[in-house]
Structure 1
Amino acid sequence: MARFAALAVCAAALLLAVAVGGAAAQGVGSVITRSVYASMLPNRDNSLCPARGFYTYDAFIAAANTFPGFGTTGSADDIKRDLAAFFGQTSHETTGGTRGAADQFQWGYCFKEEISKATSPPYYGRGPIQLTG
Protein backbone atom coordinates (compact mmCIF):
# COMPACT_ATOMS: atom_id res chain seq x y z
CA MET A 1 0.00 0.00 0.00
CA ALA A 2 2.89 2.38 0.76
CA ARG A 3 4.28 1.84 -2.74
CA PHE A 4 0.92 2.68 -4.27
CA ALA A 5 0.67 5.87 -2.18
CA ALA A 6 4.19 6.89 -3.17
CA LEU A 7 3.42 6.16 -6.82
CA ALA A 8 0.21 8.19 -6.61
CA VAL A 9 2.05 11.14 -5.06
CA CYS A 10 4.74 10.99 -7.76
CA ALA A 11 2.11 10.81 -10.50
CA ALA A 12 0.23 13.79 -9.04
CA ALA A 13 3.47 15.79 -8.77
CA LEU A 14 4.33 14.96 -12.37
CA LEU A 15 0.88 16.00 -13.61
CA LEU A 16 1.11 19.27 -11.66
CA ALA A 17 4.58 19.97 -13.06
CA VAL A 18 3.34 19.38 -16.59
CA ALA A 19 0.29 21.59 -16.03
CA VAL A 20 2.32 24.44 -14.55
CA GLY A 21 5.52 24.05 -16.51
CA GLY A 22 4.12 22.67 -19.74
CA ALA A 23 5.46 25.57 -21.76
CA ALA A 24 8.99 24.82 -20.65
CA ALA A 25 8.60 21.14 -21.45
CA GLN A 26 6.91 21.58 -24.83
CA GLY A 27 8.56 24.73 -26.10
CA VAL A 28 7.23 28.09 -27.12
CA GLY A 29 4.66 26.47 -29.42
CA SER A 30 2.69 25.33 -26.39
CA VAL A 31 2.03 28.98 -25.49
CA ILE A 32 1.98 30.58 -28.94
CA THR A 33 -0.11 28.13 -30.93
CA ARG A 34 -0.76 28.55 -34.63
CA SER A 35 -4.21 30.01 -33.88
CA VAL A 36 -2.85 32.44 -31.26
CA TYR A 37 -0.17 33.58 -33.72
CA ALA A 38 -2.79 34.13 -36.43
CA SER A 39 -5.09 36.06 -34.09
CA MET A 40 -2.27 38.33 -32.87
CA LEU A 41 -1.06 39.12 -36.38
CA PRO A 42 -4.19 38.97 -38.54
CA ASN A 43 -2.88 41.16 -41.37
CA ARG A 44 0.65 39.76 -41.75
CA ASP A 45 -0.33 38.04 -45.02
CA ASN A 46 -2.50 40.88 -46.31
CA SER A 47 -1.86 41.77 -49.96
CA LEU A 48 -1.00 45.33 -48.82
CA CYS A 49 1.93 44.08 -46.70
CA PRO A 50 5.36 44.05 -48.36
CA ALA A 51 6.45 41.20 -46.05
CA ARG A 52 3.44 39.04 -46.92
CA GLY A 53 4.38 35.38 -46.50
CA PHE A 54 7.68 36.16 -44.76
CA TYR A 55 6.69 35.95 -41.09
CA THR A 56 5.19 32.46 -40.93
CA TYR A 57 4.29 30.55 -37.79
CA ASP A 58 6.61 27.70 -38.80
CA ALA A 59 9.52 30.13 -39.23
CA PHE A 60 8.78 31.63 -35.80
CA ILE A 61 8.79 28.20 -34.14
CA ALA A 62 11.98 27.16 -35.96
CA ALA A 63 13.72 30.38 -34.89
CA ALA A 64 12.45 30.07 -31.31
CA ASN A 65 13.73 26.50 -31.11
CA THR A 66 17.27 27.65 -31.91
CA PHE A 67 17.22 29.52 -28.57
CA PRO A 68 16.17 26.84 -26.03
CA GLY A 69 15.50 29.32 -23.20
CA PHE A 70 13.29 31.61 -25.29
CA GLY A 71 9.71 31.49 -24.05
CA THR A 72 10.39 28.45 -21.89
CA THR A 73 12.12 29.77 -18.77
CA GLY A 74 10.45 30.74 -15.51
CA SER A 75 6.90 30.49 -14.28
CA ALA A 76 3.93 30.32 -16.63
CA ASP A 77 3.28 34.02 -15.95
CA ASP A 78 6.95 34.90 -16.65
CA ILE A 79 6.82 33.02 -19.94
CA LYS A 80 3.64 34.77 -21.05
CA ARG A 81 5.06 38.16 -20.02
CA ASP A 82 8.31 37.55 -21.93
CA LEU A 83 6.47 36.47 -25.06
CA ALA A 84 4.06 39.42 -24.82
CA ALA A 85 7.03 41.81 -24.57
CA PHE A 86 8.73 40.12 -27.53
CA PHE A 87 5.64 40.31 -29.74
CA GLY A 88 4.92 43.86 -28.59
CA GLN A 89 8.39 44.99 -29.67
CA THR A 90 8.57 43.05 -32.93
CA SER A 91 5.02 44.02 -33.92
CA HIS A 92 5.77 47.67 -33.22
CA GLU A 93 8.89 47.56 -35.37
CA THR A 94 7.10 46.00 -38.34
CA THR A 95 3.85 48.00 -38.54
CA GLY A 96 5.10 50.39 -41.19
CA GLY A 97 3.96 53.41 -39.22
CA THR A 98 0.21 52.91 -39.42
CA ARG A 99 -0.17 55.09 -36.33
CA GLY A 100 -3.67 56.49 -36.10
CA ALA A 101 -5.30 53.76 -38.15
CA ALA A 102 -8.43 52.36 -36.54
CA ASP A 103 -6.83 48.94 -36.21
CA GLN A 104 -3.17 50.00 -36.07
CA PHE A 105 -2.23 47.27 -33.60
CA GLN A 106 -3.27 44.54 -36.02
CA TRP A 107 -0.70 45.45 -38.67
CA GLY A 108 2.39 43.99 -36.99
CA TYR A 109 4.71 41.91 -39.17
CA CYS A 110 3.69 43.82 -42.28
CA PHE A 111 7.19 45.12 -43.11
CA LYS A 112 10.57 43.43 -42.99
CA GLU A 113 12.68 46.46 -43.91
CA GLU A 114 12.14 50.18 -43.93
CA ILE A 115 14.22 52.97 -45.40
CA SER A 116 14.36 56.44 -43.90
CA LYS A 117 16.12 59.00 -46.07
CA ALA A 118 15.47 61.70 -43.46
CA THR A 119 18.73 60.84 -41.72
CA SER A 120 22.22 61.32 -43.00
CA PRO A 121 23.39 58.77 -43.92
CA PRO A 122 20.05 57.08 -44.69
CA TYR A 123 18.87 54.52 -42.15
CA TYR A 124 17.93 51.09 -43.43
CA GLY A 125 15.96 49.29 -40.73
CA ARG A 126 15.92 45.55 -41.17
CA GLY A 127 13.77 43.03 -39.40
CA PRO A 128 11.60 43.06 -36.35
CA ILE A 129 14.33 43.38 -33.72
CA GLN A 130 15.71 46.88 -33.93
CA LEU A 131 15.58 50.06 -31.94
CA THR A 132 13.86 53.20 -33.11
CA GLY A 133 14.29 56.69 -31.83
Structure 2
Amino acid sequence: MGKLQLLSATLAIFLSAIAIPTTFVDAVAVGSVVTPAFFNRILSQAGTGCKGKTFYTRAALLTAARAYPRFGNLDTALWSKREIAAFFAHVTHETGRKVLLVHDVCVGADFCYVEEIARNTYCSPSSQYPCAPGKKYYGRGPIQLTWNYNYGACGKANNFDGLKNPDIVAKNAVIAWKTGLWFWMKSVRPVVKQGFGATIRRVNGGECNGGSPAAVAARVKYYRAYCRSFGITPGPNISC
Protein backbone atom coordinates (compact mmCIF):
# COMPACT_ATOMS: atom_id res chain seq x y z
CA MET A 1 0.00 0.00 0.00
CA GLY A 2 1.41 3.41 -0.97
CA LYS A 3 1.88 6.22 1.53
CA LEU A 4 -1.08 8.14 0.11
CA GLN A 5 -3.37 5.09 0.31
CA LEU A 6 -2.17 4.36 3.86
CA LEU A 7 -2.86 7.95 4.88
CA SER A 8 -6.35 7.83 3.38
CA ALA A 9 -7.17 4.55 5.11
CA THR A 10 -5.88 5.87 8.45
CA LEU A 11 -7.91 9.05 8.07
CA ALA A 12 -11.08 7.08 7.28
CA ILE A 13 -10.62 4.93 10.40
CA PHE A 14 -10.01 8.04 12.51
CA LEU A 15 -13.13 9.82 11.21
CA SER A 16 -15.20 6.71 11.80
CA ALA A 17 -13.94 6.47 15.36
CA ILE A 18 -14.82 10.06 16.24
CA ALA A 19 -18.18 10.11 14.47
CA ILE A 20 -20.79 11.56 16.79
CA PRO A 21 -23.95 9.46 16.91
CA THR A 22 -27.15 11.36 16.32
CA THR A 23 -30.24 11.24 18.47
CA PHE A 24 -32.49 11.52 15.43
CA VAL A 25 -35.66 9.47 15.33
CA ASP A 26 -35.75 8.04 11.82
CA ALA A 27 -38.82 7.45 9.67
CA VAL A 28 -39.16 3.86 10.87
CA ALA A 29 -39.29 5.09 14.49
CA VAL A 30 -42.45 7.10 13.76
CA GLY A 31 -44.25 3.76 14.01
CA SER A 32 -42.77 3.14 17.46
CA VAL A 33 -44.09 6.51 18.68
CA VAL A 34 -47.44 6.32 16.89
CA THR A 35 -48.28 2.92 18.29
CA PRO A 36 -51.47 1.03 17.38
CA ALA A 37 -52.80 1.77 20.88
CA PHE A 38 -52.16 5.52 20.52
CA PHE A 39 -53.67 5.70 17.04
CA ASN A 40 -56.69 3.59 17.91
CA ARG A 41 -57.48 5.68 20.98
CA ILE A 42 -57.93 8.68 18.70
CA LEU A 43 -59.82 6.68 16.08
CA SER A 44 -62.20 5.33 18.69
CA GLN A 45 -63.54 8.85 19.24
CA ALA A 46 -65.05 8.83 15.73
CA GLY A 47 -68.67 7.77 15.66
CA THR A 48 -69.96 4.96 13.48
CA GLY A 49 -71.29 7.51 10.98
CA CYS A 50 -67.87 9.09 10.52
CA LYS A 51 -66.21 8.31 7.19
CA GLY A 52 -62.81 8.91 8.74
CA LYS A 53 -63.26 6.00 11.14
CA THR A 54 -62.52 3.54 8.35
CA PHE A 55 -60.58 5.88 6.05
CA TYR A 56 -57.74 7.09 8.27
CA THR A 57 -55.51 4.14 9.10
CA ARG A 58 -52.18 3.85 10.85
CA ALA A 59 -50.86 1.68 8.02
CA ALA A 60 -51.65 4.38 5.46
CA LEU A 61 -49.95 6.99 7.64
CA LEU A 62 -46.76 4.96 7.98
CA THR A 63 -46.73 4.30 4.24
CA ALA A 64 -47.09 8.03 3.57
CA ALA A 65 -44.39 8.85 6.12
CA ARG A 66 -41.83 6.95 4.05
CA ALA A 67 -42.11 9.74 1.49
CA TYR A 68 -41.23 12.24 4.24
CA PRO A 69 -38.39 10.63 6.22
CA ARG A 70 -37.57 13.88 8.01
CA PHE A 71 -40.97 13.91 9.70
CA GLY A 72 -40.56 12.94 13.34
CA ASN A 73 -36.80 13.48 12.99
CA LEU A 74 -36.11 16.82 14.65
CA ASP A 75 -32.66 17.03 16.28
CA THR A 76 -33.49 15.08 19.45
CA ALA A 77 -35.93 12.42 20.55
CA LEU A 78 -37.73 15.01 22.70
CA TRP A 79 -38.32 17.45 19.85
CA SER A 80 -39.12 14.62 17.46
CA LYS A 81 -41.91 13.46 19.77
CA ARG A 82 -43.10 17.02 20.23
CA GLU A 83 -43.35 17.36 16.47
CA ILE A 84 -45.42 14.19 16.18
CA ALA A 85 -47.63 15.30 19.09
CA ALA A 86 -48.15 18.69 17.43
CA PHE A 87 -49.00 17.10 14.09
CA PHE A 88 -51.59 14.83 15.67
CA ALA A 89 -53.05 17.68 17.72
CA HIS A 90 -53.79 19.62 14.55
CA VAL A 91 -54.92 16.59 12.57
CA THR A 92 -57.31 15.56 15.34
CA HIS A 93 -58.78 19.04 15.52
CA GLU A 94 -59.00 19.52 11.74
CA THR A 95 -60.84 16.23 11.24
CA GLY A 96 -63.12 16.59 14.24
CA ARG A 97 -63.95 20.08 15.47
CA LYS A 98 -66.77 18.74 17.69
CA VAL A 99 -64.81 18.97 20.90
CA LEU A 100 -65.83 18.88 24.54
CA LEU A 101 -63.28 19.38 27.28
CA VAL A 102 -64.10 16.87 30.02
CA HIS A 103 -61.74 16.80 33.00
CA ASP A 104 -58.95 18.24 30.84
CA VAL A 105 -59.45 15.50 28.24
CA CYS A 106 -60.52 16.20 24.68
CA VAL A 107 -63.60 14.22 23.70
CA GLY A 108 -65.25 14.53 20.30
CA ALA A 109 -65.60 13.21 16.80
CA ASP A 110 -61.87 12.84 16.22
CA PHE A 111 -60.77 11.53 12.81
CA CYS A 112 -64.36 11.93 11.63
CA TYR A 113 -64.19 14.18 8.57
CA VAL A 114 -62.38 13.37 5.34
CA GLU A 115 -63.92 16.37 3.57
CA GLU A 116 -64.98 19.66 5.09
CA ILE A 117 -68.65 20.50 5.43
CA ALA A 118 -68.58 23.88 3.64
CA ARG A 119 -67.47 22.74 0.20
CA ASN A 120 -66.75 26.00 -1.58
CA THR A 121 -64.68 26.28 -4.75
CA TYR A 122 -61.56 27.85 -3.19
CA CYS A 123 -60.15 28.82 -6.58
CA SER A 124 -57.55 31.57 -6.64
CA PRO A 125 -56.27 32.97 -9.98
CA SER A 126 -52.99 31.24 -10.75
CA SER A 127 -51.04 30.83 -13.97
CA GLN A 128 -48.99 28.01 -12.44
CA TYR A 129 -51.87 26.11 -10.86
CA PRO A 130 -55.04 27.06 -12.75
CA CYS A 131 -58.32 25.62 -11.53
CA ALA A 132 -59.76 22.80 -13.62
CA PRO A 133 -63.33 23.32 -14.89
CA GLY A 134 -65.92 22.11 -12.41
CA LYS A 135 -63.43 21.20 -9.70
CA LYS A 136 -63.49 22.45 -6.13
CA TYR A 137 -60.52 22.75 -3.85
CA TYR A 138 -62.14 22.70 -0.43
CA GLY A 139 -60.56 21.03 2.58
CA ARG A 140 -59.80 17.33 2.27
CA GLY A 141 -57.60 14.94 4.18
CA PRO A 142 -56.20 14.95 7.72
CA ILE A 143 -55.09 18.57 7.65
CA GLN A 144 -57.85 19.74 5.29
CA LEU A 145 -55.78 20.78 2.27
CA THR A 146 -57.43 23.83 0.68
CA TRP A 147 -57.02 26.07 -2.42
CA ASN A 148 -55.99 25.16 -5.97
CA TYR A 149 -52.38 26.29 -5.56
CA ASN A 150 -51.92 23.88 -2.65
CA TYR A 151 -53.58 21.01 -4.52
CA GLY A 152 -51.42 21.73 -7.55
CA ALA A 153 -48.13 21.96 -5.68
CA CYS A 154 -48.89 19.03 -3.39
CA GLY A 155 -49.96 16.85 -6.30
CA LYS A 156 -46.77 17.68 -8.17
CA ALA A 157 -44.69 16.74 -5.14
CA ASN A 158 -46.58 13.48 -4.55
CA ASN A 159 -47.28 12.26 -8.10
CA PHE A 160 -51.01 12.86 -8.39
CA ASP A 161 -52.99 15.43 -10.36
CA GLY A 162 -54.29 17.66 -7.62
CA LEU A 163 -55.85 20.14 -10.02
CA LYS A 164 -57.81 17.77 -12.23
CA ASN A 165 -58.49 15.19 -9.56
CA PRO A 166 -58.67 16.81 -6.13
CA ASP A 167 -61.22 14.18 -5.04
CA ILE A 168 -58.47 11.56 -4.87
CA VAL A 169 -57.42 13.08 -1.54
CA ALA A 170 -60.73 11.92 -0.08
CA LYS A 171 -60.55 8.50 -1.74
CA ASN A 172 -56.97 7.33 -1.25
CA ALA A 173 -55.85 7.24 2.39
CA VAL A 174 -52.11 7.17 1.61
CA ILE A 175 -52.43 10.24 -0.61
CA ALA A 176 -54.56 11.91 2.06
CA TRP A 177 -51.84 11.43 4.68
CA LYS A 178 -49.22 12.60 2.18
CA THR A 179 -51.10 15.87 1.72
CA GLY A 180 -51.06 16.40 5.47
CA LEU A 181 -47.36 15.62 5.70
CA TRP A 182 -46.58 17.77 2.65
CA PHE A 183 -48.29 20.79 4.17
CA TRP A 184 -46.69 20.10 7.52
CA MET A 185 -43.14 19.81 6.21
CA LYS A 186 -43.52 22.81 3.91
CA SER A 187 -45.35 25.27 6.13
CA VAL A 188 -45.37 24.10 9.75
CA ARG A 189 -42.23 22.09 10.41
CA PRO A 190 -39.91 25.14 10.18
CA VAL A 191 -41.52 26.71 13.28
CA VAL A 192 -42.06 23.63 15.46
CA LYS A 193 -39.17 24.50 17.78
CA GLN A 194 -40.69 27.94 18.38
CA GLY A 195 -43.43 26.20 20.34
CA PHE A 196 -46.84 24.75 19.63
CA GLY A 197 -48.35 28.22 19.45
CA ALA A 198 -46.28 28.97 16.37
CA THR A 199 -47.67 25.88 14.66
CA ILE A 200 -51.22 27.10 15.32
CA ARG A 201 -50.39 30.32 13.49
CA ARG A 202 -49.17 28.32 10.49
CA VAL A 203 -52.15 25.96 10.37
CA ASN A 204 -54.86 28.53 11.10
CA GLY A 205 -53.52 31.88 12.22
CA GLY A 206 -57.01 33.39 12.18
CA GLU A 207 -57.73 31.58 15.44
CA CYS A 208 -54.96 33.46 17.25
CA ASN A 209 -55.13 36.87 18.96
CA GLY A 210 -58.74 36.39 19.98
CA GLY A 211 -59.93 35.04 16.64
CA SER A 212 -61.21 31.80 18.15
CA PRO A 213 -60.07 31.18 21.72
CA ALA A 214 -62.07 27.95 21.95
CA ALA A 215 -60.36 26.48 18.89
CA VAL A 216 -56.91 27.45 20.19
CA ALA A 217 -57.76 25.93 23.58
CA ALA A 218 -58.88 22.69 21.91
CA ARG A 219 -55.67 22.41 19.88
CA VAL A 220 -53.58 23.04 22.98
CA LYS A 221 -55.55 20.44 24.98
CA TYR A 222 -54.93 17.86 22.29
CA TYR A 223 -51.25 18.71 22.20
CA ARG A 224 -50.86 18.46 25.96
CA ALA A 225 -52.71 15.13 25.97
CA TYR A 226 -50.50 13.67 23.25
CA CYS A 227 -47.34 14.87 24.94
CA ARG A 228 -48.48 13.07 28.08
CA SER A 229 -49.09 9.94 26.01
CA PHE A 230 -45.51 10.13 24.73
CA GLY A 231 -44.12 10.78 28.22
CA ILE A 232 -42.71 14.21 27.36
CA THR A 233 -43.17 17.83 28.39
CA PRO A 234 -44.97 20.14 25.95
CA GLY A 235 -42.22 22.74 25.89
CA PRO A 236 -42.51 26.55 25.77
CA ASN A 237 -44.95 28.88 24.00
CA ILE A 238 -47.74 26.41 23.53
CA SER A 239 -50.50 28.94 22.84
CA CYS A 240 -50.84 31.83 20.40
Question: Which interval holds the TM-score relative to the shorter structure?
Answer: 0.5 to 0.7
Letter in 2 for 1:108: D
Q: Deviations over 1:25-44 (max 9, x none)?
A: 74311211111211233224
One-letter amino acid matched to 1:47: T
Distance 1:127 1:117, change over 3 A: closer
Work out whether 1:57 is the aligned partner of 2:58: yes
The 1:125/1:28 distance shift into structure 2, 3 A limit, reads same
Asked if residue 128 in structure 1 is aligned to residue 130 in structure 2, the reply is: no
| Residue 82 (structure 1) aligned with residue 96 (structure 2) | no
Task: Write 1 or 2 for the structure with the bigger share of helix.
Answer: 2
Greater relative contact order (Cα 8 A, min sep 6): structure 1 or 2?
A: 1
Q: Distance in 1 between matches of 2:38 and 2:45?
A: 13
- Partners of 1:115 and 1:124 within 8 A in 2: no
Change (3 A) 1:123 1:68: closer
Give the SS at the match of 1:84.
helix
Q: 2:97 aligned with 1:113, yes or no? A: no
- Counterpart amino acid of 2:74? T
Residue number in structure 2 paired with 1:37: 39
Partners of 2:56 and 2:111 within 8 A in 1: yes
User: How many residues were matched structurally?
Assistant: 114
Name the counterpart of 2:30: 28
Paired position in structure 2 for 1:69: 70
Provide Cα deviations, 1:44-74, integer angstroms capped at 9, x if missing partner. 4x31212221100100111111101011232
Alignment RMSD (CA, Å): 3.3
- Asked if the contact 2:116/2:139 (under 8 Å) is kept, the reply is yes
1:6-25 residue CA offsets vs partner (Å, 9 max, x unmatched): xxxx9xxxxxx6xx847327
In structure 2, the partner of 1:94 is 95
User: What TM-score results when the alignment is normalised by the length of structure 1?
Assistant: 0.66
- The residue type paired with residue 30 of structure 1 is S
TM-score normalised to structure 2 length: 0.40
Residues 93, 128 of structure 1: 8 Å contact kept: yes
Report how far residue 123 of structure 1 moved: 7.6
1:107 shift after superposition: 2.5
Deviations 1:60-118 (A, max 9, x none): 111111101011232111011100110011111100x3144757544321110013269
State, as a whole percentage, how many aligned pairs show the same letter.
Answer: 36
Kindly indicate whether the alpha-carbon contact (under 8 Å) linking 1:98 and 1:104 is maintained by their aligned counterparts in 2.
no
